[in-house]
Structure 1
Amino acid sequence: MSRSQVAKRYAEALFQLAQEKKALAEVSSDLKELVKVIIANPELLSLLSNPKFSIERKKQIVSEIFSNANKIVVNTLELLIDKKRVNELTNLAEEFSVLAAAAEGAADAKVFSTRALTDAELNEISSAFAVRVGKQKLNITNEIDPSLLGGVRVQIGNYIFDNTVASKLAGLKRTLVG
């Protein structure tokens, strides 16, 4: 995760506003959708950063595309356009996600595996690892990585729990070779 101080400040302000308006879940959901749209259409971010278009035109495009989104999210996006900080949007969404998860007593986690895990497996991983990091639950994203050979690697913030065949083989190699 990027540790952009600018994104962190915007995320904290957005988080406080969402809490005041009692729209934390809605804002969080809208930000996740916004990031999905930007990842799927990187040209949108290029367009919003392009100096050839006026700020008013960019705001008009944003309000048309995200007309169903929470007004707080749209206003934040317009503020980023005003301040020429649109490139911080994905970092802002990541920082906001961390703040929202912490407020719920949860943490975001990535579980790397060789195949898609079932809901039961994800719940088991969530309950086992949430205790290790002092949280009530984990919001897990399962990422497929065939290079692991087997097992899982769990990343929660700065913590990495690696129980993969690839890491065990690497450890065995270090032990044998020296």
Structure 2
Amino acid sequence: MLLASATRTISATPGLGRRAASAISSKYSKAVFGAALQKSPQILNKVATELTNASNAIKASPEISTLIRNPTLSSQERLAGLQLLYGKLEGGSGAAKKEGLSEITKNLFEVLSENGRLGEAEEVIQGFQELLAQHKGELTVTVTSAQPLPRDMVTRLENALKQSQAAQAAKVLKIENKINPSILGGVIVDFGEKSIDLSVQSRVTKLNNVIQQSV
């Protein structure tokens, strides 16, 4: 019950802003990561796989998504959602099915349910994955653009990013190109806790703000 003891002290205060909610999700991420790391490298990898599968299951199944993300559900309904999720994750075959889910993974979802924070499960999982990447010495740089970037531009970005202190401290540098047409053009680069907004949408917003202030 290592994870439970670490996370039950996190209050479920309603009406929190996005920044506060994100900070609390981070505490859950650190708790589950620390619990898995303390067990063994094998358990850490097992929990990582289970949480990735859980995130995929929540996104792929409308029924599971509703039961997980709906904050108005009763504790019994949330429990039913967890059982449905567990069944999905344990629906494999061979050794994976026989072994079942780890106590740490089940513990996490149960504590989230008890504290009324199942809706933040995906954010908690993302935080866990970031901690795991840091543990492995990986740095993932997310480059958001309106359209897929040409390979030569990705290469130029990669070469430029390798000169940063964060990249030089990492063992592995990964670049992910996400598509978001709403930024209109340019790019948004996110790595670690830093974000560089070079999008056209950002420039348009700044221009609108200047115009409004001048009127």
TM-score (norm 2): 0.60
State the alpha-carbon separation in 2 of the partners of residues 124 and 117 from structure 1. Answer: 11
The answer as to 2:64 corresponding to 1:44 is yes
Deviation of 1:11 after TM superposition, in Å, equals 0.9
Describe the shift of the 1:133–1:115 C-alpha distance in structure 2 as closer, same or farther (beyond 3 A): farther
Describe the shift of the 1:59–1:164 C-alpha distance in structure 2 as closer, same or farther (beyond 3 A): closer
Deviation digits for residues 44-95 of structure 1, max 9, x if unmatched?
Answer: 2432452173565344323212215752323322332233321221221122
Return the letter of the residue paired with 2:29: A
The size of the alignment, in residue pairs, is: 175
For residue 76 of structure 2, give the secondary structure of its aligned residue in structure 1: coil
Q: Which residue pairs with 2:113 in the alignment?
A: 81
Describe the shift of the 1:146–1:39 C-alpha distance in structure 2 as closer, same or farther (beyond 3 A): same
Percent identical residues: 25
Q: Which moved more, 1:95-104 or 1:74-83?
A: 74-83
Q: Which residue pairs with 1:129 in the alignment?
A: 161
For residue 134 of structure 1, give the secondary structure of its aligned residue in structure 2: helix
The answer as to 2:48 corresponding to 1:21 is no
State the alpha-carbon separation in 2 of the partners of residues 91 and 37 from structure 1. Answer: 14
Task: Report if aligned partners of 2:146, 2:180 keep a CA contact under 8 Å in 1.
Answer: yes
Q: Which residue pairs with 1:160 in the alignment?
A: 195
1:27-176 matches, within 5 Å, as: 27-41=47-61, 43-48=63-68, 50-51=73-74, 53=76, 56-67=79-90, 68=92, 70-71=101-102, 72-117=104-149, 122=154, 125-126=157-158, 128-135=160-167, 136=170, 137-146=172-181, 151-163=186-198
Task: Report if aligned partners of 1:55, 1:82 keep a CA contact under 8 Å in 2.
Answer: no
Aligned-residue RMSD, C-alpha: 3.7
State the alpha-carbon separation in 2 of the partners of residues 55 and 160 from structure 1. Answer: 35
State the alpha-carbon separation in 2 of the partners of residues 142 and 55 from structure 1. Answer: 35
Describe the shift of the 1:92–1:171 C-alpha distance in structure 2 as closer, same or farther (beyond 3 A): closer
Describe the shift of the 1:90–1:171 C-alpha distance in structure 2 as closer, same or farther (beyond 3 A): closer
Return the letter of the residue paired with 2:85: V
Deviation digits for residues 93-140 of structure 1, max 9, x if unmatched?
Answer: 122122112212233332112433467765653453254252323443
Deviation digits for residues 6-51 of structure 1, max 9, x if unmatched?
Answer: 3222111111122233143443343233223323445424324521
State the alpha-carbon separation in 2 of the partners of residues 84 and 171 from structure 1. Answer: 38
State the alpha-carbon separation in 1 of the partners of residues 84 and 191 from structure 2. Answer: 36
The answer as to 2:18 corresponding to 1:12 is no
State the alpha-carbon separation in 1 of the partners of residues 78 and 145 from structure 2. Answer: 44
Stretches of structure 2 that go unaligned for 5 or more consecutive residues are 1-17, 93-99
Deviation of 1:152 after TM superposition, in Å, equals 3.3
